[in-house]
Structure 1
Amino acid sequence: MPAAPYQPPKNGAKIIIVGGGSFGLSTAHALSLKAKGYDIHVYDREKIPASDAASTDINKIVRMDYGDDLIYQQLACEALPIWRQWNEEVKAEGKPLVYNETGLLLFSRNGKFPDYERLSMQNIRGAGYGHAIEEFPTPESIVERFPQFSDAVANGFNIAYLNKYAGWCYSTGAVVHLYEKCLRNGVQFHQNGSHSTLKELIVENGGQVKGIRTVDGQEHFADLVILATGAWTAKLIDMEGTLTATGHAVVHFKPDAETCENYFTKDFPVWSGDISYLGYYGFPANHEGKVKVACHAAGYLNMCEDGKVSVPRTKVANPDDTLPHNSLIEYREFFGKFLPKLNELDIADSRVCWYSDSFDGDFIISPHPKYQNLIVATGDSGHGMKFIPIIGYKIAQVVEAVDNEYTRAWAWRSAGKGRLDSMRLLTKTDRQELGKGIARFAKPEELKANAIKAKL
């Protein structure tokens, strides 16, 4: 039965936010700036930054390139000056930059830009940021500016454009920076234990949420609960098929100092290798000399025993996990064509990063239709971190029932066709025929540079 119409919280209301990642912290910070005197409490099962949160990473892309998804382009443009402001703040504290504006170089093949790249350039120019776009219409023009990609160009990645108003964020650093802002604003945190781990919602009268019950059995009452629980959301509450937890393989390299300086640092941008079709993207070396590469594709599922819901499988419970072996093979094959230098290096670290994938790739930030006093802020779909400086202000507008283009775009909606058939399984279930079959994790020795090269 549908819940009663949503009513925004009154002045001084107690608000519980479950989840201290990018959406949860940004929301807490935005609400703490309100003059309404909200009593804000954030609960997280781990110490913030949570080690297995998608937002806890060495870097994420910051871009306004969104094809014809103009709402996200606009949101990224709103976030950009705040990223730059945060840089000034962390510099004053002697900390690494949280935003590195190295540019984003988007490669395409066959001498023609697909719709995503073409529309991105068109709409960025239309928004008044044309001065940030530099096109490389020939293979020679790419190599002249970025000789590190000569092998990629020789293997058909022969057209590109650079968005100079883009780069990468030090995502863990950004989470910590925002966490500290929340602390200064009086946000109360409960973290790292059974006292802070959600067991269930306290629900009365057929759908009225009164608060949360934590694993230690304690009850915590509130006027409003916000679930900002990322890839765990679909397991915690019925999302009516709108969300799926999907895992995506990530690899890190640690080149020696000379290679790092000459190859992955000097004038080296964030890059994507025909992102519309292949999904691969990577970064310059970070302040620790680590080079990350990831792939935005269909991903993996880790189904519950009943086979109904995918749940994250992370290193918190499985510390020996690496990356799926079939992803390792695919990475090494791609590097051979695009960045052979990476095939000379051992994989220093790897993980499966878990998205809260919505069925349509859009965020779901809305009152839940079956409950009162419950808002879900989820559906990051692998592209939420770049908005951490601004997304909380938009979620706060949902909290306060403001009607605008953002709150309408992310409102609750019926699920369309699911994407399970394109995904792969990490674990065996009764649905073994799903997608491309069962994955296994690569063995540590298989992460060495020469382990599979002879087989390629």
Structure 2
Amino acid sequence: MTTPESKIIIVGAGVFGLSTGLHLAKSGYKDVTIFDRCAYDQKFYNPANEGCDGASCDINKIFRATYETKKHSQDLALEARKIWLQWNEQIRTSKPSDLPAPLTPDDEVLVNCGVFHLADKREMFPRYQTNLKATAETAPEFRDLMYIKDNAEDEDRIRERGGQWHNKYHRFDHMRRGATNGFLDTGAGITLADKACVYARHLCEKAGVKFVLGEPQGYLESLIIETLDKQKRVAGIRTRDGSCHLADVVVVACGPWSASVIPEAHRTVEATMGTVMFMDIPEDRQDLRKKFHSDNIPVWRFIEEDADGGYEGGGFPITAEGRLKFGFRARKFTNFQPHRTQADLKISTPRTKWSANPIHTVPSYGLERMKKVIGELFPELTEIGFTDSRLCWYTDSIDNEFVIDYVPNYGDSLFICTGGSGHGFKFLPILGKYVRQQLEKTPGAFTKIWKWRAVEEGKAANGLEEGEAGPREMSKLRLASPEDFKFAVVQAANVPESLAKLTLDGTKSSHRIIGAA
């Protein structure tokens, strides 16, 4: 158990590490140091920059508070939303010289552009029904910000909100010739991930958190493990430059690399990869840049089920630089490799553009489904085609709840803080408040939910039960070629010719994940 006098080392400067460091320092902890192999003070969490391959390094993430019947997650999101908006105001009212590079007072870290949840067929998708019902019962003021597609009463309500929201409400009417269901959540939107992390790191430094970033000094080589009277404890970490750093508690917040650091965690969390594609819209296509601006289009998500698995994915408004991002997450893939410290163990290990064995493509499984959906939805984008890709590595837990607890058998010296499961980023401003409670062993709402747990034999565990033999293993997949990034000449059979200059849609896959970001 920690106290404000404890010396804390946090390994990982992503969402979990930043939020933990910030709230520990704000609560009076005087000796907190965050290590990371990436020089984020120079790379700014920008995924285009070398080494920025953590899930927190991204251009945007969905913000939502709909969690079906998981009220604890809904409440945490709504609590975080208040802080996100405070951060927006703090940035807006700051002097440029008081902000960390590359932020300016014009930047926002939460953009309230809305999220349109869509699904195939006219009858309401069960998950959406549950979300609407649960929000009405537990947060009615936020249910009032949701508008059901093709609902006459909601049509009148959103018309009263003004032109921007009314236009977004009808943005996807043409999809599947109107035979879709869903709702527009106008209380939701996007976080600008890289800028948010830059600002959170700035707040950490102001609060007194120390950082050791970059190679070799910030690169974790190994945990320093001592054994006394058959009791193991972690005394600190050794970095790649050969230095030893001692601590009372080491917090491992390494995202999908967490099991690479703590081999005991390989049946508790697993690195899984989502498929992300990008389109860079040329400056001379101001028509498209305007159409896909957050003023004119919300985040969209689409679900379609079929015998072959289907589609679950979506897209984001355009960035200031002209980049559109699309994601597919109905099936998330694994990459089993020998564990770096335990020769007899294989675990799923991230492989990225910046790995020793770099990869610059994605599995064709998700890409082909994305092309079908996006081609139907936005045929005008098919002439541009995808210009870039990314394997976005998540940290799936067995139930999509976080794993934030002391690792057993280390005498309260080793603590794991991970398991974002693709939906953790939205909690950046507030997560550390509750991590501190777990560190201090103060019972709370999340004590049992975030406890250490592992796959149980014979039970489904969000795919973790599959192991190396499972169907998602990358070695079994066909990877896309550069030619696959292009769209074929699309004869959009499901799209009326009169709408061929508009469009947006989606579908789902055979490996179902329990939650969604």
TM-score (norm. length: structure 2): 0.79
Letter in 2 for 1:224: V
Distance in 2, matches of 1:283 and 1:194, equals 36
CA offsets 1:128-163 (integer angstroms, 9 cap, x no match) = 32221111236996997545424424163x222111
Equivalent in 253, 256, 259 of residue 234 of structure 1: 259
Q: Please state whether the residue corresponding to 2:331 is helix, strand or coil.
A: coil
CA contact (8 A) 1:321 1:351 kept: yes
CA contact (8 A) 1:68 1:116 kept: no
CA offsets 1:237-276 (integer angstroms, 9 cap, x no match) = 1115111100111011122222120345442111111278
Distance in 1, matches of 2:31 and 2:394, equals 29
1:123 aligns with 2:134: yes
Match in the other structure for 2:217: 195
CA contact (8 A) 1:246 1:356 kept: yes
How far has the Cα of 1:410 moved from its partner? 0.5
Letter in 2 for 1:27: T
Of the structure 1 ranges 198-207 and 71-80, higher mean CA displacement relative to structure 2 is found in: 198-207
Q: How many residues align?
A: 441
Match in the other structure for 1:46: 38
CA offsets 1:98-131 (integer angstroms, 9 cap, x no match) = 1100111111222222232111111212223222
How far has the Cα of 1:454 moved from its partner? 8.6
Equivalent in 234, 237, 240 of residue 212 of structure 1: 237
CA contact (8 A) 1:321 1:441 kept: no
- CA 1:326–1:155 in structure 2 vs 1: closer, same or farther (change >3 Å)? farther
- CA 1:290–1:434 in structure 2 vs 1: closer, same or farther (change >3 Å)? closer
- CA 1:262–1:435 in structure 2 vs 1: closer, same or farther (change >3 Å)? closer
Match in the other structure for 1:395: 435
Distance in 2, matches of 1:349 and 1:95, equals 27
Match in the other structure for 1:356: 395
Match in the other structure for 2:23: 30
- Match runs of 1:168-179 below 5 Å: 168-179=190-201
1:108 aligns with 2:119: yes
Equivalent in 330, 334, 337 of residue 301 of structure 1: 334
How far has the Cα of 1:448 moved from its partner? 2.9
1:346 aligns with 2:385: yes
Distance in 1, matches of 2:397 and 2:364, equals 26
CA offsets 1:190-231 (integer angstroms, 9 cap, x no match) = 111122111211111231111111122221100111000000
Equivalent in 457, 460, 479 of residue 441 of structure 1: 479
Equivalent in 261, 280, 289 of residue 260 of structure 1: 289
Equivalent in 272, 282, 286 of residue 315 of structure 2: 282
Match in the other structure for 1:225: 250
Q: Please state whether the residue corresponding to 2:267 is helix, strand or coil.
A: coil
Equivalent in 360, 378, 386 of residue 418 of structure 2: 378
Equivalent in 261, 269, 274 of residue 243 of structure 1: 269
Match in the other structure for 2:10: 17
Distance in 2, matches of 1:219 and 1:9, equals 21
Match in the other structure for 1:4: none
CA contact (8 A) 1:296 1:382 kept: no
- CA 1:358–1:225 in structure 2 vs 1: closer, same or farther (change >3 Å)? same
- CA 1:240–1:435 in structure 2 vs 1: closer, same or farther (change >3 Å)? closer
Letter in 1 for 2:63: V
Distance in 2, matches of 1:121 and 1:432, equals 35
Q: Please state whether the residue corresponding to 1:195 is helix, strand or coil.
A: coil
CA offsets 1:56-80 (integer angstroms, 9 cap, x no match) = 1110000001111111111101001
RMSD: 2.8
Q: Please state whether the residue corresponding to 1:239 is helix, strand or coil.
A: helix
Letter in 2 for 1:392: G
CA contact (8 A) 1:155 1:338 kept: no
How far has the Cα of 1:88 moved from its partner? 1.1
CA offsets 1:24-57 (integer angstroms, 9 cap, x no match) = 001000001013x430000001112361010111
Identical columns (%): 31
Letter in 2 for 1:366: D
- CA 1:421–1:230 in structure 2 vs 1: closer, same or farther (change >3 Å)? closer
Q: Please state whether the residue corresponding to 1:323 is helix, strand or coil.
A: coil
Distance in 2, matches of 1:340 and 1:148, equals 14
- CA 1:213–1:422 in structure 2 vs 1: closer, same or farther (change >3 Å)? closer
Distance in 2, matches of 1:76 and 1:151, equals 32
CA contact (8 A) 1:56 1:171 kept: yes
Match in the other structure for 2:87: 86
Letter in 2 for 1:260: R
Distance in 2, matches of 1:455 and 1:216, equals 56
CA contact (8 A) 1:422 1:436 kept: no
Q: Please state whether the residue corresponding to 1:122 is helix, strand or coil.
A: helix
Distance in 1, matches of 2:256 and 2:361, equals 19
Distance in 2, matches of 1:300 and 1:75, equals 28
CA contact (8 A) 1:280 1:295 kept: yes
CA contact (8 A) 1:151 1:339 kept: no
- CA 1:433–1:135 in structure 2 vs 1: closer, same or farther (change >3 Å)? closer
CA contact (8 A) 2:290 2:296 kept: no
Unaligned runs of 5+ in 1: 1-7
How far has the Cα of 1:380 moved from its partner? 0.5
Letter in 1 for 2:92: K
CA contact (8 A) 1:47 1:192 kept: yes
- CA 1:15–1:395 in structure 2 vs 1: closer, same or farther (change >3 Å)? same
Of the structure 1 ranges 85-94 and 359-368, higher mean CA displacement relative to structure 2 is found in: 85-94
Of the structure 1 ranges 265-274 and 66-75, higher mean CA displacement relative to structure 2 is found in: 265-274
Match in the other structure for 1:152: 175
How far has the Cα of 1:411 moved from its partner? 0.9
Distance in 1, matches of 2:304 and 2:446, equals 26
Match in the other structure for 2:348: 310
Distance in 2, matches of 1:398 and 1:124, equals 27
1:411 aligns with 2:451: yes
Distance in 2, matches of 1:421 and 1:375, equals 21
